[in-house]
Amino acid sequence: MTKAEKPQPIAAAAAAAAAIAQRRSESLGTIVHKELERMILSGEIKAGERLSEQSIAARLGVSRGPVREATSALERSGLLTSVANRGVFVREVSADELLELYDMRALLTGFACALVASRATPGDKAKLAAMVDGMGDALDRGDGPRYYQGNLDFHAAIMELAGHVKAAQIYDTLLKEAHLSRRGVLSTPPMMGQSNAEHRAIVAAIVAGDAERARDLGERHVLNGKRRLLTTRTATRSGEADAAHPASDRAEPDPTQVDADPGAPGPRVQRRRNR
């Protein structure tokens, strides 16, 4: 992206103010809540960043009251955290928390996929298939951001078509928390391709009306996302280590050492030799 293409602060502020003006039918607190949530989830305001009520109010063209109301609501939903004598910050999700969020999302996704398989209309099935095709087109064009948004839309459609209000509410909360840390998971074409192949298999099970297979594929899809996250982080750490220690400085690996399961990073373990 060139410097001219990068969103400028003034343009972003103007867009936010325009969004506020277009939604005057909603309460001001609700409008500010939605816009502040969007700014957090899009990465405009980053994890760990301190929020300034005054700056946010000026940016959105509102008083500090609605901003305070919105930050309180977002703190309750898990996106913000308040630190005594320091202020309000965008919450940073720990590695362990993120993995737990994947586990819970897997259960809910499998549950929702089974419900959709048992109740989907021909129109619902066609809609899901078209969404998978759209993600495939984005993949063919190398359009990562479009694929990422399509992935979010596909999962939102599954939850909506499942028709289970409470499950959708819980899933939405889990997803927003996970969103703070997971944007890089679908960062490479091979990972996007794997992800969309799993989407296509889920839709095939839904079209066939096979609820149990849809449940299994839905759960495995999210757990595979967890595995992709671990792979990405391992590769990132490896790249950082390689940059810090050139090949000429690294010792040859000890053949008596073996790595733990890559799906569960941990200390290296010693392989016992048979005597």
- For residue 85, report the phi and psi dihedrals to the nearest 5 degrees: 65, 10
pLDDT classification of 13: cutoffs 50, 70, 90? low
The SS3 call for residue 135 is: helix
Statement: residue 22 has pLDDT above 60: no
pLDDT (tens digit per residue) in 160-191: 999 999 999 999 989 888 877 655 555 578 88
pLDDT classification of 47: cutoffs 50, 70, 90? confident
Statement: residue 211 has pLDDT above 50: yes
- Gap between the Cα atoms of 231 and 261, Å rounded: 11
- Gap between the Cα atoms of 253 and 124, Å rounded: 54
- Gap between the Cα atoms of 67 and 205, Å rounded: 45
Statement: residue 76 has pLDDT above 70: yes
pLDDT (tens digit per residue) in 95-149: 889 899 999 999 999 999 999 999 999 999 999 999 999 999 999 999 988 998 8
Distance of CA 166 to the CA centre of its chain: 20
Number of other CB atoms surrounding residue 65 within 10 Å: 13
Q: Are 220 and 254 in contact (CB under 8 A)?
A: no
Kindly state the average pLDDT of the residues 189-207: 94
